[in-house]
Amino acid sequence: MDTRYFVTQDSTGERRRVRILPAPSGGTDAGHPHDRYALDDGSPVRRVDNETFQVIGSGAYVTLVRD
């Protein structure tokens, strides 16, 4: 199984891996499926914009890290 993920960083500098989960069936907008996101521990994450994500449980924002 191919796991897709990217790395983010919070305001304290801690880096976390965010998994890209497949979109659920029927979860499309104008025919385009939406990916879902979660931390490695399973905590759901929502996409704010192209580089910013919010951890749902804590409300913390994390930013995409490009290496």
User: Is residue 28 included in any domain, yes or no?
Assistant: no
- Provide the domain limits for residue 56: 5-22+34-64
- Domain count for the chain: 1
| Res 42: pLDDT | 94
Q: Max CA-CA distance within the chain?
A: 38
For the beta carbon of residue 6, count every other beta carbon within 10 angstroms. 15
Annotate 31-61 with b (16+ C-beta within 10 A) or e (fewer): eeeeebbbbeeeeebeeeeeeebbbeeeebe
C-alpha–C-alpha distance, residues 31 and 58, integer Å: 31
Interval 10-66: pLDDT, tens:
999 999 999 999 877 655 555 656 789 999 999 999 999 999 999 999 999 999 999
Single pTM value for the model: 0.78
